[in-house]
Structure 1
Amino acid sequence: MNVIIICESARITGGAERVAVLEALEFRRRGIRVGFIAADPIADPRLAEAGVELLLLPAKSVFEESDNQKRLHMLFSNPYVVESVREFLVNFEPRTTVVHIHSFRLKLTGAPIALAQSLGFKTAFHCNEYATICPTSLYFNHRTQTNCELSPLSLGCISCECQGQKWRHKLPKLTAHFGNKVLLKLYARADLFLAVSQLNAKTLAPHLPKEPVVVQLPFQPVLDEDRGDNDGNEFAFIGRLVPEKAPDTFLEAAKLAGVKAVIIGGGPMEESLRQKHPEARFTGWLSDAPLKAEMKQIRGLVIPSRWRETFGLSVVDAIHRGIPVISTTSVGASEVVRESGAGIVTEEITPNSIAEAMNTLNQPQQWSEMRANALAWSASNPRSTEQYVDRLIELFTPLIK
């Protein structure tokens, strides 16, 4: 078996990139040949050291191109990228190679994937977001702050100004999605769709030609010294400060519950939230060491998202650290909170419902039980990169037999 990974970045800049890099390294550790195609001239140095064959393309995003004619062409294809990928693919045997796609829409475009499919390569799409079904990739209406229920590319979808911007800003994304789905038929020709949670799979299934298969994301182990007592009195929100993540609901809930709140992250809402909630502590985005120090102190993590998050990496990271979690049902990782008993899942996304959960978690006995559940679940569910790649091999092998 050979594996070619397609991801717009070959270094860890987010959750999808982290999974792609760890996957490549683990495949190589097992002696499996790996190619990695990225729209990024810089790669994680571990990839080359491990013997991963790299194709690093300094491609622009359609939104970075100022020439309108070039932008229109880039919505469907980038000739330089396609020819470079063609030369790269020649070195791999289609009958024994699976192309695993993590991200591609903004810079690589769908054309290289269509090329791989036309050459006989098996393709697997990793659905870290909703790009396989939704033109904007989020499947969320930013104007109404509700999850989208429209049929993608229907008249309702096409006419909806769902981004909180004028419709003309949605047009390039609609055009590119139409090209990928209808003209190139990327998804009809795909062999496998990988979802990252049951919620993710349930949302995708009605709009895909094949039932998505849930694959548990890998996590790096948490060392004992990185676990604190976590018996402080602060509840934490970690993430981008945008309306769909509901940081305002978190802060209002903390005030109602009479508990201290810390915001770890940043974004467009930060200034207004600071003004409205001077009682809260804002750290901004933190690098690894300061983040670990904060995580040792917090009593609970709160994920009050309105958006139907495909997973929520911070949830499982918190549970591995013995930190109880309060999550809404809109978060894919709420499944882990329920399964582990390491927190509270609420259906209502209101300050009152979150405050009630905070009050429950603030009771010493309840908190101790949930922390114990978190540590017990972590010990029996490491969700290692090795387990993740075992599952990929199990799913990829039938494709190339």
Structure 2
Amino acid sequence: MALATTERPVHAPALEAVGPPERAPSPDRVVVINDVSVARGGATRVALGSIDLLEAAGVPTTFVAGDGGGPASGHPSGDTLALGGRHLLDGSLLRNAASGLYNARAAAKLAAWIAENDTPRTVYHLHGWSKVLSPAVFHALRPVQRRLVLSAHDYFLVCPNGAYYDYRGSSVCHRTPLGIACLTTGCDRRSQLHKLWRSSRQAILRRVADLRRVGAVLAVHDGMIPDLIRGGVPAERIRALRNPVVPWSASRVEAERNSLFLYVGRVEEEKGVDLLAAAARDAGVRLAVVGRGALQPRLAHEYPEVRQLGWKTPEELAVLIHSARAVVMPSRYPEPFGLVAVEAAASGLPLVVSATAAIADEIAGSGLGLAADPRDRAGFAAVLTGLAADDALVATMSRRGHAEAMRLAHTPASWVTELLTIYGSVLERSRPP
């Protein structure tokens, strides 16, 4: 899925480019690595979009897909290495449990490709690894780790359940990953057995990934940095690079004329869609869900009034949002960035975001929307009721978001410029003394 290029400036101080000197080397090639080749979430959208942006900037790329790849990978020249792995939720439970701990087959294929094709100025950029590739991918990348860039789209790099969230206790987790308190807490949303499996995977990751020597770890929001450091990522390896955003609509959605509340994303428990459905029922507001996931059957059974629309193409979504009043991001866990939030706000849609989201204070402080606790059903419903009734407030948020929301993120053009600066810095440090 390509990201269109625009030339709108970014004003947020956190996004200022700081990097290597002007003569820093540029990459011969960037190898973009991701679990899957089909965009069903923000991380994969960014990974696939980076291919088009880098190619447009004159940098050759190779896409390494943990799954079977294919035309959905979106590589303009078809330069794709498909490792043929299975998603953790597909197929045999025992087989996937083993390959999820260490996918030796995928690692061997990637290692062979690196041995045959690597150059001193090839940069490797790993986006997602926890669904197919497993910690084994870090083993394959050890020979080139000084030229390896890791994007922390979530917390799986440091936290066993990937969210720094106690699903059983319904609270944000402040424990040290793999410490005694972490290992003895049943925080996993599935079971304690699954927590033990994930902790084992995290221990393997620590053995095979030397985060002291990687080129860079990119936090998609500045607020992630303390939690990455708490999990063992050296501070000097971390760079904040917010995701690139393209608004869903160039023209402002006249949200004040509409009544439909919208959720866009994976329909999973951690995303809090069930909490939103309950609050929407109490508030008496219409709700539509764009996306798919394991929570769909339960949602259909318990909240039949919610319209489940499945995934939409960008063109279909651009039409649908002109019937929406607001977009809600009700995640249970601390959402690291929230690509959907900025895409929506920049299109003129007011936001209701979980108070634990990294971007919540900026959204509320900029007047682009409201922050709420989705676990407080009555309070959450009251926020939806208030937005449904206040046309003037919705209109103000809509106009402000359309004019100012892009200050919270990079445009594709500014993002790829900053990314190339980081690549240059990584190559500069990787040069032999």
TM bracket, shorter-chain basis: 0.7 to 0.9
Tell me the CA shift for residue 322 of structure 1.
Answer: 0.4
The 2-side partners of 1:276 and 1:110 are apart by 38
1:175 is matched with: 200
The 1-side partners of 2:364 and 2:98 are apart by 46
The 2-side partners of 1:226 and 1:311 are apart by 23
The 1-side partners of 2:386 and 2:49 are apart by 37
Post-superposition CA distance 1:262-283 (Å, at most 9, x none): 34445555555556556x4323
Tell me the CA shift for residue 389 of structure 1.
Answer: 0.9
Q: Percent identity?
A: 21
Gap runs ≥5 in structure 2: 1-26, 429-433
Letter in 1 for 2:79: E
1:128 is matched with: 153
Aligned positions of 1:2-401 closer than 5 A? 2-44=29-71, 47-49=74-76, 51=77, 53-61=79-87, 66=92, 72=98, 75-79=101-105, 81-94=107-120, 96-119=121-144, 121-181=146-206, 183-211=207-235, 212-224=238-250, 227-228=253-254, 231-265=257-291, 267=293, 269-270=295-296, 273=299, 277=303, 280-288=305-313, 289-338=315-364, 340-346=366-372, 349-361=375-387, 362-378=389-405, 383-401=410-428
Retained in 2: the 8 A contact 1:8–1:108?
yes
Retained in 1: the 8 A contact 2:243–2:415?
yes
Q: Sort the Cα spacing of 1:38 and 1:162 in 2 relative to 1 into closer, same or farther, 3 A.
A: same
Q: Sort the Cα spacing of 1:85 and 1:349 in 2 relative to 1 into closer, same or farther, 3 A.
A: same
Letter in 1 for 2:412: T
Retained in 1: the 8 A contact 2:337–2:359?
yes
Runs of 4 or more off by more than 6 Å in structure 1?
Answer: 379-382
The 2-side partners of 1:262 and 1:347 are apart by 20
Q: Sort the Cα spacing of 1:385 and 1:46 in 2 relative to 1 into closer, same or farther, 3 A.
A: farther
Tell me the CA shift for residue 336 of structure 1.
Answer: 4.5
Retained in 2: the 8 A contact 1:28–1:52?
no
Post-superposition CA distance 1:20-41 (Å, at most 9, x none): 1111111111111222211122
Letter in 1 for 2:228: L
Letter in 1 for 2:66: A
The 2-side partners of 1:68 and 1:337 are apart by 43
Post-superposition CA distance 1:177-210 (Å, at most 9, x none): 21111x2133233231111123333332322332
Post-superposition CA distance 1:316-355 (Å, at most 9, x none): 1211220111112212332452354211123574233333
Tell me the CA shift for residue 157 of structure 1.
Answer: 2.3
SS of 2:117 mapped into structure 1 = coil
The 2-side partners of 1:284 and 1:220 are apart by 22
Question: How many residues of Structure 1 are paired with residues of Structure 2 in the alignment?
Answer: 397
Q: Sort the Cα spacing of 1:47 and 1:163 in 2 relative to 1 into closer, same or farther, 3 A.
A: same
Post-superposition CA distance 1:151-185 (Å, at most 9, x none): 2112332233322334333333222221111x213
Retained in 2: the 8 A contact 1:5–1:34?
yes
The 1-side partners of 2:115 and 2:353 are apart by 43
TM-score normalized by the length of structure 1: 0.86
Retained in 1: the 8 A contact 2:41–2:265?
no
Retained in 1: the 8 A contact 2:263–2:327?
yes
The 2-side partners of 1:116 and 1:273 are apart by 41
TM-score normalized by the length of structure 2: 0.80
The 1-side partners of 2:213 and 2:409 are apart by 34
Tell me the CA shift for residue 98 of structure 1.
Answer: 2.1
What RMSD over aligned residues (CA atoms) do the two structures have, in Å? 3.1
Post-superposition CA distance 1:224-276 (Å, at most 9, x none): 46845552123233344444433344344445544433344455555555565
The 2-side partners of 1:54 and 1:286 are apart by 25
Letter in 2 for 1:37: V
Answer with 255-264 or 295-304: which moved more.
255-264
Retained in 1: the 8 A contact 2:256–2:392?
no
Q: Sort the Cα spacing of 1:60 and 1:30 in 2 relative to 1 into closer, same or farther, 3 A.
A: same
SS of 2:81 mapped into structure 1 = strand
Q: Identify which of structures 1 and 2 has the higher relative contact order when contacts are C-alpha pairs closer than 8 Å and 6+ apart.
A: 2
The 1-side partners of 2:308 and 2:173 are apart by 32
The 2-side partners of 1:326 and 1:48 are apart by 35
